[in-house]
């Protein structure tokens, strides 16, 4: 009985799966399409095969709850000056060697322990309202891997007059995106580096599905901003930055606010130095010269004389 109660409380049946190879089931939430054997989790660590059915271990179990300025997401042009009720969980469907949030992305739920309180979607709405937030942000770790929870919260948020914000790597299948994205009001997509080689070596994922996800999101008429963490010697070449700006201009337009943020050595990849301020300023100038309307620099303290250059919005 105790097991059943625990199952009820902590295991929420997942969407987006089908029978897989042999006794495995296949998750189709993201482009990894993991084949998951019984009692195992997929690559992200939070979707588990229990007795031949797929469950989300993260549903109702956020491990980070904070009230943040919306600019911290970062979103420069969505409900500026307001607070957003921010929630995050464990797990990630990428494996960035330079992850700056690895305590969450590589964290996992231990079935043998009761981990934290249970937060059904209506409780998240109540907390956001009590805190006088104007939006709920799904953030900190990768929220698309707990899309069932995001969707249920987002549906209630509409009724409560709260906006919804997704801070995502965009590594998601069209099936999932078509259910998730229409419920999101504003998103920041984290574009890690503009080449398949970079994605393959540094994240274990692929760039192409992310570009498709961004195009689809914008086609819905939603507010999009894009962040690029700039890692010296890895994704800061003129060639890569030009390719990113060129693709964005052609496919999304120059109205999309861009954020270029500084890397610091963290997690497994520590070989590059911190991103110099001048590198970010040069990229900002390049983006502006190519017609981008709104360009922002993050994770960096600029000298007072150039601080006014931190953001550029026409």
Out of 87, 137, 145, 162, which residue is the one contacting ligand SF4 (CB under 6 A)?
145
Question: What residues from 160 to 219 belong to the interface with ligand SF4 (CB under 6 A)?
Answer: none
Q: Give the C-alpha separation, 160 to 177, whole Å.
A: 23
Residue 172: CB minimum distance to ligand SF4, A: 8
Out of 56, 86, 93, 105, which residue is the one contacting ligand SF4 (CB under 6 A)?
93
Out of 29, 79, 157, 213, which residue is the one contacting ligand SF4 (CB under 6 A)?
29
Nearer to ligand SF4, 93 or 248 (CB): 93
33 binds ligand SF4 (CB under 6 A): yes
For residue 307, report the phi and psi dihedrals to the nearest 5 degrees: -60, -35
47 binds ligand SF4 (CB under 6 A): yes
For residue 105 the two structure tokens come to: 């992305």
Residue in 301, 307, 212, 191 with CA at minimum distance from that of residue 257: 191
Out of 12, 20, 27, 236, which residue is the one contacting ligand SF4 (CB under 6 A)?
27
Out of 10, 11, 43, 78, which residue is the one contacting ligand SF4 (CB under 6 A)?
43
Number of residues that bind ligand SF4 (CB under 6 A): 12
- Pick the piece of the chain touching ligand SF4 (CB under 6 A) from 32-40, 203-211, 251-259, 263-271: 32-40
The DSSP-derived string for 98-164 is: T-S-HHHHT----TTS--S----HHHHHHHHHHTT-SEEEE-SS-GGGGHHHHHHHHHHHHHHT-EE
143 binds ligand SF4 (CB under 6 A): no
Q: Give the C-alpha separation, 203 to 97, whole Å.
A: 6
- Pick the piece of the chain touching ligand SF4 (CB under 6 A) from 41-49, 151-159, 235-243, 244-252: 41-49
Q: Interface mask (CB under 6 A) for ligand SF4, residues 99-138, using x and -? A: ----------------------------------------
Residue 36: CB minimum distance to ligand SF4, A: 6
Q: Tell whether the torsion through CA atoms of 84, 165, 307 and 193 is positive or negative.
A: positive
Residue 144: CB minimum distance to ligand SF4, A: 7
Residue 139: CB minimum distance to ligand SF4, A: 17
How far is residue 118 from each of residues 87, 153, 286, 292, measured CA to CA in Å?
A: 13, 14, 47, 43
CA atoms within 13 A on the CB side of 182: 6
How far is residue 159 from each of residues 155, 162, 257, 258, measured CA to CA in Å?
A: 7, 8, 28, 31
Residue in 263, 207, 210, 259 with CA at minimum distance from that of residue 234: 263
> Where are the strands (E) in 144-256, listed by range?
163-168, 186-190, 223-230
* Binding stretches for ligand SF4 (CB under 6 A): 27, 29-30, 32-34, 42-44, 47, 93, 145
């Amino acid at each position: 009985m105790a097991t059943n109660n625990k199952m009820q409380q902590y295991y929420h049946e997942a969407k987006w799966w089908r029978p897989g190879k042999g006794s495995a089931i296949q998750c189709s939430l993201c482009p990894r399409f993991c084949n998951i054997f019984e009692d195992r989790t997929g690559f992200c660590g939070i979707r588990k095969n229990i007795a031949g059915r797929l469950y989300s271990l993260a549903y109702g179990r956020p491990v980070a709850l904070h009230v943040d300025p919306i600019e911290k997401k970062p979103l420069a042009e969505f409900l500026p000056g307001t607070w957003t009720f921010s929630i995050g969980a464990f797990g990630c469907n990428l494996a960035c060697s330079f992850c700056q949030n690895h305590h969450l992305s590589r964290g996992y739920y231990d079935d043998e322990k009761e981990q934290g309180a249970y937060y059904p979607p209506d409780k998240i709405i109540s907390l956001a309202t009590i805190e006088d937030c104007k939006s709920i942000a799904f953030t900190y770790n990768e929220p698309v891997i707990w899309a069932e929870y995001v969707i249920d919260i987002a549906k209630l948020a509409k009724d409560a007059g709260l906006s919804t914000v997704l801070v995502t790597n965009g590594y998601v299948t069209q099936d999932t995106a078509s259910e998730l994205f229409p419920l999101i009001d504003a998103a920041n997509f984290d574009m890690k580096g503009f080449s398949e080689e970079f994605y393959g070596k540094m994240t274990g994922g692929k760039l192409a599905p992310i570009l498709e996800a961004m195009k689809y999101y914008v086609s819905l008429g939603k507010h999009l901003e894009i962040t690029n963490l700039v890692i010296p010697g890895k994704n800061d070449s003129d060639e890569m930055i030009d390719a990113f700006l060129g693709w964005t201009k052609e496919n999304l337009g120059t109205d999309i606010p861009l954020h270029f943020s500084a890397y610091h050595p963290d997690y497994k990849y520590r070989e590059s130095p911190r991103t110099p301020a001048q590198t970010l300023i040069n990229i900002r100038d390049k983006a502006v010269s190519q017609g981008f309307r709104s360009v922002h620099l993050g994770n960096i303290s600029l000298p007072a004389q150039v601080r006014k250059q931190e953001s550029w919005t026409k």
